[in-house]
Amino acid sequence: MGAFLIGTRQGIFDLEWSIRCPSCFGPADVQEELAALKNHAHCAGCRVDIDNAALDSEVEVCFKVGGSVRPDEPPHFTEIIKAWVTFDFLQKKEVAPGSKWVYDADIPAGPYKVFTDGFRARAAFLVEAAAKTPDKEIRFDLKENGLEWHAGARAPGRYAIRFRNSTASPVNFNFARALEAPWVSGLDVASNQLFRDMFSGELISADASFSVKNIVLLFTDIRGSTDLYERRGDARAYALVKEHFRILFESVRRHNGAVVKTIGDAVMASFLTPTDAMAAIFDAHDRFEIFNERSSENPIVIKAGVHGGACLAVTLNDALDYFGRMVNLAARIQGESRGGDIVVSRTLHGSAGVGKMASDLGWSASVKTAGLKGIEDEVGLVVLTRGR
C-alpha cells in the first residue's frame, strides 16, 4: 500500500473513496475525497440500501492510474467482472421461452449472483444470519426489459429458487456464490501511518461519521511526567518526551499501526489486529529498556493499555479520530497501568495469538476485575508484567 500512497502523492495514481455494496461488491457511491463521501448509499443494480456504512467493511479505497499518465478510459462491465469478481458456480440451466426452472438448495450465508450468459441480465442478493425471511422461495423472472426479483437479504436455509424465462428466446440462467477479490478498506488506509503523514487533509465530513466494526487501540502515558519536569526542568524534560515519542512512534509504525493523536505526553495509536498492537507495545518496552540502560539518570517508564472493539470514525480537531464507549474504555484501561506493565482487556487477551505471544516473550499474566471511572460495569482485565 505504501507504494500506491507514494505514487498517489506524486500524481501517478488517483485515490477514490467508495461505498461498497455488500451484495455485488461494486461501488454504490464514488467520491474523490473522503469528506464528500456519505455514510449511506443505494446500489441500483442490487436494489440495496447501505446505511451507516462501516469504514472497515463497506468503505473501499481504490487507486487508479492518474489522468496525467494515461487517459481515463472506464473498462467495460464484463472486464470488471473478470478482474474483480470470481464465482463458485452452483447451478446452470438453459430455460426455453415461457418455461420455468426450480432449483432446490440449502443456501448458507454469503453473497449470491444470478445472471444470464454474457451478463445481459443480472441480480445479486445477500444471505445473512440477521435477516428474517419466512418465505422460503426466491423468484427471478427474466423479461425483455431485464430481470425482475424481490430485493432484500435472506436468512440461511433451504430455498426453492424459481427461474422463469418470459422472453421469446432460450436463455441460460447461472446461479453462483460470489467470492471476494482482495480489496483495501477505508480502515486499512486510516490505520496506515504513511497515509496519515502524507494525506492529513483527507478527513470525514464534520457532519458525518462511519461505524467501525473492529479496531484495536493502544493508549500510553509516561509515568511521573509531572515530577519529570520538576526534577529535570522544562528543556531536559521536553527532550526526554520527544525521545519517548520517537521510540514509541517507530514501534507503532514497525508493527502496522498508526498514531491517531498525542495529548501532552500521552499517545493514542490504532491497529487492525490485536497481535499487531501487542507486538508494538512489547517492542516499545524493549526499546525503552535499552534507552534506560544508556540513560539511567533519566529513565522513561510508560503506562500502557490495550483494548479493541467497535466505535465510530470521526473528524476531531482536524484529524481522523475515533469516538465511543470502546475508546473511553481503552483509555480507562490504560489508567490502570502502574508503569512498566501492560494492561489489556480480558477479551483482547483472549484473542488468537495474544496470550502465547506474551508468554513467549517472558511476560506473565495476572487477571483482575476493576471498576473504571465512567464505566457502569466492572471490567475484566489482564495485567502483563515481566522481571529482569
pLDDT in tens, 111-150: 898 988 866 788 888 898 888 877 789 999 999 888 888 8
State residue 383's pLDDT score.
Answer: 96
State residue 79's pLDDT score.
Answer: 67
State residue 151's pLDDT score.
Answer: 73
251 exposure class (CB count in 10 Å sphere: 0-12, 13-18, 19+):
buried
State residue 82's pLDDT score.
Answer: 62
Give the contacts of 5 (CB within 8 A, at least 6 positions apart): 192, 194, 195, 198, 199
Closest CA to 220 of 274, 259, 272: 259
pLDDT in tens, 21-46: 887 788 999 999 999 999 999 988 77
State residue 387's pLDDT score.
Answer: 66
196 in Cβ contact with 252 (< 8 Å): no
In the chain, what are the domains?
2-80 (no CATH), 209-385 (3.30.70.1230)
Give every residue of the chain whose pLDDT is below 70, as ranges.
75-85, 118-119, 387-388
State residue 218's pLDDT score.
Answer: 98
pLDDT in tens, 235-270: 888 888 899 999 999 999 999 999 999 998 999 999
CA distance 361 to 245: 23
If one counts every other C-beta atom within 10 angstroms of the C-beta of residue 97, the result is 11
pLDDT in tens, 76-89: 666 666 655 677 88
CA distance 141 to 101: 11
The overall pTM is greater than 0.75: yes
